[in-house]
A = this chain, B = another copy of it.
């Protein structure tokens, strides 16, 4: 019942904030108001052009306050226990006085309709903790767009005073590469005794991991997990060394009993200290900034084309010709491109 009232209050608050300018949202957001933060992210996720403009204003205002956090990517196949781990890990973080934001990148949600973090009850303890902000993966069938929205959301969360950003993703190849490109530390959760097929598919992702954690290391599983940990340690020796001089760690933990979860935090703190010391922490963020500048630029350029009324009209006509097999898709693209170039010369 109490919960119901809270939700109604959030609805009212959001309706109120909708009418607010980005400046007004920012004023609430920087005080750590989670509803304002959530409304800000809604602006970022909106396809509406005027919302996008408001979102850009909001991002610009948040930028000076952003960056003062550790960004942690967490991945692993469905069933590895990401939510349970985050629930347990998040509690330790807040117990240590941190403010934790949990975001998600989920490319499969557009295919299968399912979405990680869609169901907050999977993390019911965290979701009611006032020092925690949880946001499901933005919808969208384009991983690039989802990624940009998530990256912009990170900046808003940081401006709202959240100093630990957890970014959950599901284990399907491309999405890890994207998450890796927006985090400081990349954590791979794995099950003990998972089949070789799984190891095979995970090789490229294991190479990206700063730490590998064997989950569900409790009860009858403890020995199997320790064995798996040893095997992974040996396997990771074969990988080329990281240019940041960090040697990936392998741990085991039980999210349910809480065993080993604090060790994960200590490894991350050790990582941060070491890389801030040898300069690679900022080095990596600069590299990421350069890459993200290009991504944003590409989106702006394409947007400039695909929001131009004349181009939209020409596109409709040419698509008809493609569908009626009057012209090949490649020729059609070339023709559209010529029209675009001529426009530029006007």
User: Which residues of B lie under 8 Å from residue A9 when comparing CB positions?
Assistant: none
Docked complex Cα distance between A328 and B78 (Å): 35
Give the docked Cα–Cα distance between A62 and B199 (Å): 41
Q: How far is the CB of A28 from chain B (nearest CB, A)?
A: 21
Known: A112-B207, A200-B77. A60 touches B337 (CB 8 A): no
Which among A60, A205, A290, A328 has the highest number of chain B CB atoms within 10 Å? A328
| CB-defined contacts of A205 to chain B, threshold 8 Å | 111
Within 8 A of B (CB), among A277-321: 286, 289-290, 292-294, 296-298, 300-302, 304-305, 318-319
Contact of A245 with B by CB under 8 A: no
Query: Is chain A's interface secondary structure helix, strand, loop, or mixed overall?
Result: helix
Interface size on A, residues (CB 8 A): 67
Copy count, this protein chain: 2
Contacts of A108 in B (CB 8 A): 173, 203-204
- Chain B residues, Cβ within 8 Å of A111: 177, 204-205, 207-208
In the complex, how many angstroms separate the beta carbon of A331 from the nearest chain B beta carbon? Answer: 7
A1 interfacial contact with B, CB 8 Å: no
Report 14 cross-chain contacts, Cβ distance below 8 Å, ordered by A residue. A63-B331, A77-B200, A111-B205, A172-B172, A173-B173, A173-B175, A194-B195, A289-B322, A292-B329, A293-B322, A293-B329, A297-B337, A298-B302, A344-B344
